[in-house]
Structure formats: C-alpha cells, structure tokens
C-alpha cells in the first residue's frame, strides 16, 4: 500500500487540515515522520521503539512513526499503523497553522498557543459542522453491515504485554443525549470480538454521565459511533475538556479550524461523524443488562491500570472506512497523545481571570501530576495563594509549582532550576492533606482521592522569610550589561554550522 506524502496533491505546508493524512504528509515534509516498513508487535517491537525514541530523541521532539506492515497475533497485516502523530511540539504549530516551522520546539508550542489565544478574543470560537453527501465522504468508501462486520481484520495493537488485549485506543466516541446534545470523547475500546468492543469512559467523564443518565431514564441502549483518524483538531477536542459538558466538540473544532468540520450520517443511526475520518465503528451500548470486564491497560501515568469488573461495551452494527484505512495507536504513558495547545491556551485564559498576576500555565504530559504556573508577584503570599487556586480547581494538579514571570513554564530546566535556586521548602510549601484527585493516579491509597503540594518557587520577599535582597541572575546581567551579545550570536547562527 502506498502511503507516500507525494500522493497527496496540494497538501498545505501548514494547517489546519481536513484529514489526518494531509496533516501527516505535512509532518513528513518537515522531517517529523519516521517510516518503518515492517514491525513485529508480537515481540512488542513498536512499544519498545516508542520508549527508545523518547529516550533518545526526547518526549516533545520524538518523531511520529508510520509502520507499513505489522505482525499481530501471528499474522502480518497491512497498515499503515500510525504512532505519535502529535508527539513533536512542531505538530502543534502545524496543526494550528503557524506559518514558519523551526526546530525550536518550545517556540513552536508557544506559537501555537498564541495562535489559539488570538482566536479566543471573544470566547471559544464555534462553527457548526457541515453535513456533506455520502458519495463524497471518504469514510464511506467501504461499508460493512450486520454479519459482514469484522473489526479483527484491522491491525489494532496489544500495546503492552500485561494489557487485557488489543485496543482501539485513539477512538473518538460520539454519543447524542436528549438533554446535553452531542459528546465526542476519546475513550479506549478493548477489542472483544469481530463485532464487539469495550467502551471505557472513566466515571464523571461527559460520556459516562450521558450513559448513566440514559440508564437512569430507563433506556435499554444508547447508539454510538467510534471515529478513528479524524483530523488533528477534532481529535484534540475529543481528547480534552476544551468543550464543557453540553458543548459540541465538533462545533468548537470548526471554530479553531476556521471552517466547519464536514460530517456525514451513520449507516445505522442518525449520528453525524467526521466525513474525512479513516474508520467509523457504529453500534449500540446496552444499558439494560450486565456490564463486562475490561482491562487492564497501561495507563497515562505510565503504570498498569486496574482491571475493571464492570464496564460498558458496544455491539457493532456497521463499520465504514476509507480504502486502505490508517490505524492509529497511542503509546499511552510513553508518548504524547493529542495536540494539547488548545487545552493549555484555554486553561491559561480561564485561570488568568481567577489568579491575580498569572502570566503562563503549563500542564506537562510527560510528568502527569504536575502543573506549573508563572506569576507577576507583587505581594507576599501571592505564590502560595495562586497555587491554591490552581490546585483547588484542577484535579490533575497534584504538584503545583509557582514560578516568577521570568521563568519559562514550558522549559523543565528553567522550572527545576527555579525550584533549586529560589525555593525554600520551609515556609515556601503548602500541603493540602486530602481532596479529590485523578482516579488513575497509582500512588493514591484511595483511588480518586489525593493529597497535594504547592511549591512556591518564586523569589521570596523578606517578609516571606526570603533573603534581604535576591541577587541578580547571571543571564539577566549579561542581557542588561551586554545587550548586543545575543544579537551577535543570532546573526552568526548559520555560520556556526549547528
């Protein structure tokens, strides 16, 4: 099967993109795609490669991977199977249409956030999806109904040896609710047979709430569609809470794309799905009988999750797909899972209204549990106060590090060096003994509950117990006393042959 970028005529060098394929072609043209003809997942080769790429190339810089053929359960299957499409931070810039792509990955993330910020001046933008004809919808190129359905023929991977089985772990599950409207959420789906998958919305996710509400209303089942390989912005909305409960992820994706998401009606329900996706799995989630076992699965904190005795599942009624469809596998807890800049930019905007002096915010996915904020500190106690607001509002924020505005929250080295040089553990620390936390955090003795810590790594004022005067930083002295030094280096950058 030919998956070369050259096949995709007129691919824009930067986004937004209508399809995953266009985005991958652009990623490849910028040098961020690794093509591998064959990979043996019966030996967990793809997973070990994912770890090794992150070890050697870095979490935010490791390239996307495209495997042309994959060995699964003793059989060589045609792919491609895509991994880490949203890994390198350049993907954020490409996905949101930053014009100039460079190897400065932190600058690329910041540029994507600025672009998104500029789209949100009057709130989160929305453009309703645009229904298109079935005949021009790539996701309808092939259709299987009823007894013809067999999802085992697609190369879904078993990612980790202790996982409960093969998983569709990059599917956007679409459910429509009488009260809340449409929800699009990425929930892992365990492959249970040719026409059955598990559906795993964690408790209190929007999809979970809709299913539980339908069950309470006495409904016997809920129709759903699982979308594999939607465009990057639809997937980003599906994988984050940029859309609140009752808000339509597809309309918000349209807003960020600057043009509507093309949608088409399912074969066996009225659900509208992104028409340029790779694969659509349609079905019904029963609510009137027993739930089923699901998992375990290697989860986002990098540890094996708990096996669930009772979880939702879906009986499949139809599969539609592009010809030679692309499968995407997420190396959960190893590599980045989606374009996170809209989540970061909108969270930052929201928290700026709540936290006095907040400058920037980062929720790193390579160390789940941390949240870093920078503030323009004007008064004693502002660091701990800011940290408390963030810790109190974000369940993922178990360790909140507060830094001064001159520290780059996107740069771990800067942040850690601020902790090492500006933080005094006493009195610059606040421990919150017990609040609600992330259910997947393996350190919690009671799942869903956690203690939290706020580390105030801002320069401490004397009245906070800090030194009488804080010495200037060496870099600041260089910038102040010899401002032309950096200009000199910038001007000669190409000459150095770096």
Ligand X SMILES: Cc1cc2nc3c(=O)[nH]c(=O)nc-3n(C[C@H](O)[C@H](O)[C@H](O)COP(=O)(O)O)c2cc1C
Closest approach, Cβ 83 to ligand X, in A, equals 11
Residue 76 token pair = 């060589």
240 versus 269: smaller Cβ distance to ligand X: 240
Closest approach, Cβ 346 to ligand X, in A, equals 12
11 vs 23: CA distance, rounded Å: 8
Size of the site for ligand X (CB under 6 A): 19
Single residue of 24, 25, 65, 170 touching ligand X by CB under 6 A? 170
Single residue of 160, 195, 200, 340 touching ligand X by CB under 6 A? 200
Residue bearing tokens 């600041």: 476
Q: Which residues pair with 321 in a beta bridge?
A: 142, 279
Single residue of 47, 240, 329, 359 touching ligand X by CB under 6 A? 240
Closest approach, Cβ 344 to ligand X, in A, equals 14
Single residue of 3, 144, 159, 183 touching ligand X by CB under 6 A? 183
18 versus 202: smaller Cβ distance to ligand X: 202
Give SS3 for 328.
Answer: strand
Which range binds ligand X by CB under 6 A, 34-42, 194-202, 280-288, 489-497? Answer: 194-202
Does position 202 interact with ligand X (CB under 6 A)? The reply is yes
Residue 240 token pair = 């984050």
E strand map for 308-448: 308-321, 327-329, 358-362, 370-375, 399-404, 429-436
22 versus 294: smaller Cβ distance to ligand X: 294
Closest approach, Cβ 54 to ligand X, in A, equals 16
Single residue of 19, 60, 186, 340 touching ligand X by CB under 6 A? 186
Closest approach, Cβ 32 to ligand X, in A, equals 19
Number of helices and strands (H, E) in the chain? 12, 22
345 vs 347: CA distance, rounded Å: 6
Of 426, 429, 431, the closest CA to residue 402 belongs to: 429
Give SS3 for 293.
Answer: strand
> Dihedral of the CA atoms 116, 120, 123, 126 (nearest 10)?
-60
450 vs 439: CA distance, rounded Å: 9
Single residue of 79, 88, 164, 185 touching ligand X by CB under 6 A? 185
Tell me the per-residue interface mask from 307 to 336 with ligand X, x by CB under 6 A, - otherwise.
Answer: -----------------------x------
Which range binds ligand X by CB under 6 A, 28-36, 44-52, 153-161, 180-188? Answer: 180-188
Closest residue to ligand X, judged by C-beta, is 185
Other beta carbons less than 10 A from residue 423's beta carbon: 19
Other beta carbons less than 10 A from residue 118's beta carbon: 9
Asked if 89 contacts 103 with a C-beta cutoff of 8 angstroms, the reply is no
Single residue of 201, 254, 255, 325 touching ligand X by CB under 6 A? 201
Bridge pairing between strands 429-436 and 449-456: antiparallel
211 vs 175: CA distance, rounded Å: 9
Tell me the per-residue interface mask from 140 to 169 with ligand X, x by CB under 6 A, - otherwise.
Answer: -----------------------------x
The residue count of the chain comes to 498
Single residue of 155, 207, 283, 369 touching ligand X by CB under 6 A? 207
- Sites for ligand X among residues 210-239 (CB under 6 A): 239
Give SS3 for 197.
Answer: strand
Closest approach, Cβ 267 to ligand X, in A, equals 24
Helices assigned H by DSSP within 124-241: 206-216, 232-238
137 versus 159: smaller Cβ distance to ligand X: 159
Does position 342 interact with ligand X (CB under 6 A)? The reply is no
Closest approach, Cβ 439 to ligand X, in A, equals 9
Single residue of 115, 188, 276, 422 touching ligand X by CB under 6 A? 188
Closest approach, Cβ 169 to ligand X, in A, equals 5
Closest approach, Cβ 222 to ligand X, in A, equals 14
Tell me the per-residue interface mask from 42 to 81 with ligand X, x by CB under 6 A, - otherwise.
Answer: ----------------------------------------
Single residue of 164, 337, 383, 428 touching ligand X by CB under 6 A? 337
Asked if 256 contacts 17 with a C-beta cutoff of 8 angstroms, the reply is no
Residue bearing tokens 């879904």: 156
Beta-carbon contacts of 205 under 8 Å, excluding residues fewer than 6 positions away, are 185, 187
- Sites for ligand X among residues 425-484 (CB under 6 A): none
459 vs 418: CA distance, rounded Å: 9
Does position 369 interact with ligand X (CB under 6 A)? The reply is no
> Is the previous residue joined to 16 through a cis bond, with omega within 30 degrees of 0?
yes
Closest approach, Cβ 161 to ligand X, in A, equals 19
| Binding residues vs ligand X (CB under 6 A) | 169-170, 183, 185-188, 200-202, 205-207, 239-241, 330, 337-338
């Amino acid at each position: 099967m030919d998956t070369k970028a050259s096949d995709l005529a007129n691919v824009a060098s930067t986004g937004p993109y209508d399809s995953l394929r266009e985005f991958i072609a652009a990623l490849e043209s910028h040098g961020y795609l690794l093509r591998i003809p064959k990979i043996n997942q019966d030996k967990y080769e793809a997973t070990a490669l994912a770890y090794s790429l992150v070890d050697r190339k870095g979490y935010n810089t490791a390239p996307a991977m495209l495997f042309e053929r994959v060995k699964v359960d003793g059989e060589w299957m045609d792919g491609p199977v895509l991994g880490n499409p949203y890994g390198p931070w350049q993907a954020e810039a490409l996905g949101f249409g930053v014009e100039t792509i460079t190897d400065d990955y932190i600058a690329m993330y910041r540029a994507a956030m600025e672009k998104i910020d500029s789209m949100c001046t009057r709130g989160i933008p929305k453009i309703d999806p645009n229904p298109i004809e079935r005949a021009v919808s790539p996701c309808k190129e092939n259709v299987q109904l009823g007894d013809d359905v067999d999802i085992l023929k697609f190369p879904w991977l078993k990612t980790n040896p202790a996982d409960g089985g093969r998983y569709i772990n990059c599917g956007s599950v679409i459910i429509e609710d009488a009260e809340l409207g449409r929800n699009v959420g990425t929930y892992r789906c365990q492959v249970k047979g040719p026409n059955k998958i598990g559906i795993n919305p964690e408790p209190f996710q929007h999809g979970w709430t809709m299913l539980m509400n339908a069950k309470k209303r006495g409904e016997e089942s809920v129709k759903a569609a699982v979308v594999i390989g939607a465009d990057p912005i639809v997937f980003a909305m599906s994988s984050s809470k940029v859309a609140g409960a009752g808000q339509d992820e597809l309309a918000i994706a349209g807003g960020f794309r600057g043009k509507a998401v093309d949608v088409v009606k399912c074969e066996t329900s009225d659900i509208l799905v992104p028409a340029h996706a790779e694969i659509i799995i349609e079905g019904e989630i029963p609510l009137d009988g027993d739930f089923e076992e699901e998992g375990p699965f290697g989860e986002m904190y990098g540890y094996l999750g708990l096996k669930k005795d009772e979880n939702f599942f879906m009986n499949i009624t139809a599969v539609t797909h592009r010809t030679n469809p692309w499968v995407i596998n997420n190396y959960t807890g190893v590599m980045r899972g989606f374009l996170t800049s809209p989540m970061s930019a909108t969270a930052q905007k929201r928290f700026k209204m709540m936290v006095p002096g907040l400058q920037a915010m980062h929720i790193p996915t390579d160390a789940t549990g941390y949240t870093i904020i920078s503030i323009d500190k004007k008064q004693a106690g502002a660091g701990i106060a800011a940290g408390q607001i963030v810790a109190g509002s974000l369940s993922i924020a178990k360790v909140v590090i507060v830094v001064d505005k001159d520290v780059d929250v996107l740069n771990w080295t800067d942040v850690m060096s601020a902790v090492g040089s500006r933080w005094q553990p006493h009195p610059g620390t606040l421990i919150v003994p017990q609040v609600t936390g992330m259910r997947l955090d393996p350190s919690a003795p009671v799942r869903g509950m956690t203690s939290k810590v706020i580390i105030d790594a801002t320069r401490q004022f004397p009245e906070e117990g800090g030194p009488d005067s804080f010495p200037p930083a060496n870099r600041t002295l260089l910038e102040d006393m010899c401002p032309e030094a950096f200009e000199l280096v910038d001007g000669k950058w190409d000459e150095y042959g770096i």
